[in-house]
Amino acid sequence: MTLTVRPVSGSIGAFVDGVDLGDLDDAAMVELRRAWLDHLVLFFRDQDLTPDQFSRFARRFGEPARYPFLPGIDGHPEIIEVLKQPHELVNFGGIWHSDSAYLDRPPMASMLLAREVPAVGGDTEFASGYAAYAALSEGLRAMLDQLEAVHSSARADVSKTREDRLADLGDTGGGPKLDFASVHPVVRTHPETDRRALYVNIAHTERFSGWTEEESRPLLEYLFAHQVREEFTCRFRWEVGSLAVWDNRCALHNPINDYQGQLRRMHRITLEGDVPI
């Protein structure tokens, strides 16, 4: 097996060719991990993986985590279905974010495998937290280095994802409402690369720790816009059998909701992470 890694932008993302993710040796996995750390998100085509194969590949990267708001598919609680049906108007997580930043230990990585995709639309954008941090002024970096931010799952009203999905499952009452909150550094040091990344996102970040929401809003809005500047991003078009693996510790993503009236069905696994430092 000969791997070929092709960067897709100057800041983030690379295609990997010449690989069957259902049949990888240890040397290939070492190469993939190195490429992933370099490019933050890797893209693969034509990966016709069964749920068992998908789960086995994920376990080569890390330990699968359970998503708190949706059950897994039959026989695989670690795999959730990311589904938008033709009649739905709101997609799953349709805003720039890093997965589950409201958890004390946010997921290290996410893997998304395309099962059914629209004829056009439904792309996903990715943005580099490394590039966003590096492009800030020295003075602003010095201030942000000292700050922590409060993240909350209750900010789902930004994208309406959580409420919509629970309603689709019929879970509109009768049980406890799940809310999660966390406090993490605004600038996160990656545990494997030792690089610094801006770690806030519009979907989950409420305010700076020790600040009010009103005080936090102007600077957060600046950072939310800054971190997704075009030069920090790449865009991926899905095909059936496409798979993306991204690093939540240093990358944001945004699934674009531009395919009304069409079906999009994906399988997702997130991998256990550590406490951001």
Residues designated catalytic: 97, 99, 253, 268
Distance between CA atoms of residues 226 and 101, nearest Å = 19
Closest to 106 in 3D by CA, of 184, 170, 38: 184
| Cβ neighbours for 216, distance < 8 A, ≥ 6 positions apart | 206, 207, 208
User: Beta-carbon neighbour count of residue 4 at 10 Å?
Assistant: 10
Angle at 261 between CA 255 and CA 266, to 5 degrees: 40
Q: How far apart are CA 103 and CA 186, in angstroms?
A: 15
Picking from 125, 144, 127, the residue whose alpha carbon sits closest to that of residue 136 is 144
Can you name the residues that pair with 171 across neighbouring β-strands? Answer: none
